Amino acid sequence: MSTTENTQLSRRRLLQIAGIGTVGAAATAVAGPAVWSSAAPSHKIISRSAWGFAGWQAGGPPRLNKAAITHFVVHYHGATGGGDSGPQVPRSIDRDHKADPKNAGILYNFIITQKGEIFQARGYDYKSGATYGANDFSIGVQLHISGNQKPSAAALASLEWLYRHSHGAMGKKKALKITGHQDHTATACPGGPLGRWVDGRGQELYREMAKKLGGGGGGPTVPAYPGRSAFKIGKKHPAVKTLDQGLIRKGYTKYNDGDGYQAGTLFTEYTRRNVQAFQKAQGWRGKDADGYPGPETWKRLLS
């Protein structure tokens, strides 16, 4: 199948870019249109035909413009059935999405289950319909968990693999930004533990990829310091979210409301105390550790 050839070529190309070398063909095999097998999933993409996709409606989705894709957007399922696995997962999502006759069918590009299975939905063939406001420049990946469920190690390993794999598969020379649905649309998706993954490990992964691909001017840089006025208790500023992501990445999240520390635009007393803990860890005292980030705190937290 041409799908298999393309995938293997892309995987090799990605490994070349990453300087990792070669890998056995078994690790890159794509499931063919055979009968469903419940064998332990390795990192492979289970094709639409393999999971029994019923076909598009409403004329089918528009083709994906690979050159335009800059973002890898993470979603959760959020509803009942999170934690299910096997081909019934993409089948039931497809049925739900087709309930709207204007939808061509399953809106995501990929679905990942808690077992680590990766199901091709729109894949790299068709444009995402999952992230209102960002579908022109993103692929949408759903981790099949309910809102507060913790993603399994297998699911996260598959998510990381798919992120890396997507660069080769779409011929990307710059790292894809990892964002959550809520970074583009007013939604709670993907809050909870998965949202924290996006803000923490997800950003680290992006920086790793940016470093590997390097040379194209797409490497990570510390964003410009927004000025002290961005950080006032009880006030919102977009830079606070960036600050929070730095705190999460560096592990300074001890102060929170009991539901874990989450990145957001509101500067709270929790934010201030976490920043203060980071400043004290730099050996700073007194006014240098007041919990309000100055340019040096900003630089150290975000580099």
Which residues form the interface with Zn ion (CB under 5 A)?
A: 75, 181, 189
Q: How far is the CB of 123 from Zn ion (least distance, A)?
A: 18
Q: Which is nearer to Zn ion, 75 or 172 (by Cβ)?
A: 75
Q: Which is nearer to Zn ion, 48 or 181 (by Cβ)?
A: 181
Q: How far is the CB of 191 from Zn ion (least distance, A)?
A: 10
93 in Cβ contact with 43 (< 8 Å): no
User: Which amino acid appears at position 67 of this protein?
Assistant: A
Q: How far is the CB of 273 from Zn ion (least distance, A)?
A: 31
Burial class of residue 20 in the structure, from the number of CB atoms within 10 Å of its CB (0-12 exposed, 13-18 middle, 19+ buried): exposed
Which of 235, 216, 237 has the alpha carbon at shortest distance from 225?
A: 237
- What is the DSSP annotation of 111-154? EE-TT--EEESSTTTB---SSTTTTTTEEEEEEEEETTPPPPHH
Q: Which is nearer to Zn ion, 156 or 198 (by Cβ)?
A: 198
Q: Which is nearer to Zn ion, 44 or 181 (by Cβ)?
A: 181
Q: Which is nearer to Zn ion, 172 or 181 (by Cβ)?
A: 181
Q: How far is the CB of 46 from Zn ion (least distance, A)?
A: 21
Q: Which is nearer to Zn ion, 76 or 261 (by Cβ)?
A: 76
Q: How far is the CB of 259 from Zn ion (least distance, A)?
A: 19
Q: Which is nearer to Zn ion, 193 or 218 (by Cβ)?
A: 193
Q: How far is the CB of 248 from Zn ion (least distance, A)?
A: 20
Three-state secondary structure string covering 191-222: CHHHHHHHHCHHHHHHHHHHHHHCCCCCCCCC
Owner of token pair 């102060």? 255
SS3 content of the chain, % helix, strand, coil (to 5): 40, 10, 50
Cis geometry, peptide bond prior to residue 190 (ω within 30 degrees of 0):
yes
CA distance 262 to 248: 8
User: Which amino acid appears at position 109 of this protein?
Assistant: N
Q: Which is nearer to Zn ion, 199 or 272 (by Cβ)?
A: 199
Q: How far is the CB of 263 from Zn ion (least distance, A)?
A: 16
151 in Cβ contact with 191 (< 8 Å): no
Q: How far is the CB of 223 from Zn ion (least distance, A)?
A: 25
Owner of token pair 């989450």? 262
